Structure 1
Amino acid sequence: MRYSLGFKETQVKKVLPPQSRPIASVAREAGISDQTLRNWLAQAKDGTLEKQDTVGGAGRSSREKFNLVIESKSVSENDQGKWLREKGLHSEHITLYEQELRDLVEDKGQTEKEEIKRLKKENKRLEKELSKKEKALAEMAALYTLKKKAEELWGDDEDD
């Protein structure tokens, strides 16, 4: 059975840093052999992983895969084979699509967390900068007010 490039890349990412999960664990979770994952890892390092991608369900968008997974759940077990043939799929494709969608959601959640963290840090920096500017502005206003009062009390002595 052939797997989509997205699925392969997702599994390889799990083995590489920052996750650095054990190959055996990732392979077991994905339902593939350890050696297959090792081969994908080697291909990823060589840059040949994307050249190997030829899947029967290739070219399907995430939305289409999602719809197929949802639709497959509503088909009775007796009609499952007929439905799969009509869609040009194997039962393994549905399992793979489910895993890819789970990984996509997980990656998106991680990306959103990182973005939120970055935005919070930027917000904190901007608030600090604003606070400094407000203090400087208040100081300048106080100095300007003092200067005006001094001129009122002692007059303008700059002519001397």
Structure 2
Amino acid sequence: MGYSHAVRQSVLKKVLPPEGRSISEVSRETGVNEQTIRNWIKRSKTGILADGNQDSCPRFLTPKEKYQLVVEAAGIDDEQLGGFLRERGLHSEHITIWDQELRDMIDNKNDKQDKENKALKKKVKELEKELQRKEKALAEAAALLILKKKLDALTREHEDD
């Protein structure tokens, strides 16, 4: 199976510096064989693999890149959108799907934060309750200590008489 230039560049971008991720990790993520990636790296270092500045295949875009494309597409007229998508090798369905994926990611993050906030509020309430209980116990102990000292002082006075 031959891979497009855009796919090769996208994979190499992930493996080579500055990203510098491991070959096995990128292989699992993209579905490209590890040895194929090693061959591409070797060819890119020797200059055999052409170094083009084409956009990567939609399948291999990061969430950040998808977000940027969705935002750019949102600001373009319907008439110009077709040209914009063709330049980047995309279909209108990509933008729709990515928009929904990004919204779902945000919703899931908000749900997770809400759960964490609830748990933290519950923990704070429990700790405040425990603190009040301990303050009351400490006040009671201090009162008993004062009463004991007064009692000791009174008993000494009666012994002196």
Which band: TM-score by shorter chain?
0.5 to 0.7
Cα root mean square deviation, aligned: 2.6
Please report the TM-score for the alignment, with normalisation by the length of structure 1.
0.59
How far, CA to CA, are the matches of 2:156 and 2:106 in structure 1?
72
Residue type of the alignment partner of 1:71: E
CA deviation after TM superposition for structure 1 residue 153, in Å? 1.0
2:107 maps to 1:106: yes
Q: Identity of counterpart residues, as a percentage?
A: 45
Tell me: higher relative CO, structure 1 or 2? Use CA pairs within 8 A at least 6 residues apart: 1
Aligned CA distance change for structure 1 residues 136 and 155 (closer, same or farther; 3 Å): same
- Runs of 4+ in structure 1 off by over 6 angstroms are 50-55
Superposition pairs of residues 17-36 of structure 1, within 5 angstroms? none
Q: Deviations over 1:4-39 (max 9, x none)?
A: xxxxxxxxxxxxxxxxxxxxxxxxxxxxxxxxxxxx
Structure 1 unaligned spans of 5+: 1-49
Secondary structure of the 1:129 match is: helix
- Aligned match of 1:85: 86
**Size of the alignment, in residue pairs?**
108
Structure number with larger C-alpha Rg: 2
How far, CA to CA, are the matches of 2:157 and 2:68 in structure 1?
82
Structure 2 unaligned spans of 5+: 1-27, 33-55
How far, CA to CA, are the matches of 1:53 and 1:74 in structure 2?
33
**The 10-residue stretch of structure 1 (115-124 or 78-87) with the greater mean CA deviation from structure 2:** 78-87
Q: Deviations over 1:12-70 (max 9, x none)?
A: xxxxxxxxxxxxxxxxxxxxxxxxxxxxxxxxxxxxxx889799423433332222111
Please report the TM-score for the alignment, with normalisation by the length of structure 2.
0.58
How far, CA to CA, are the matches of 2:119 and 2:99 in structure 1?
30
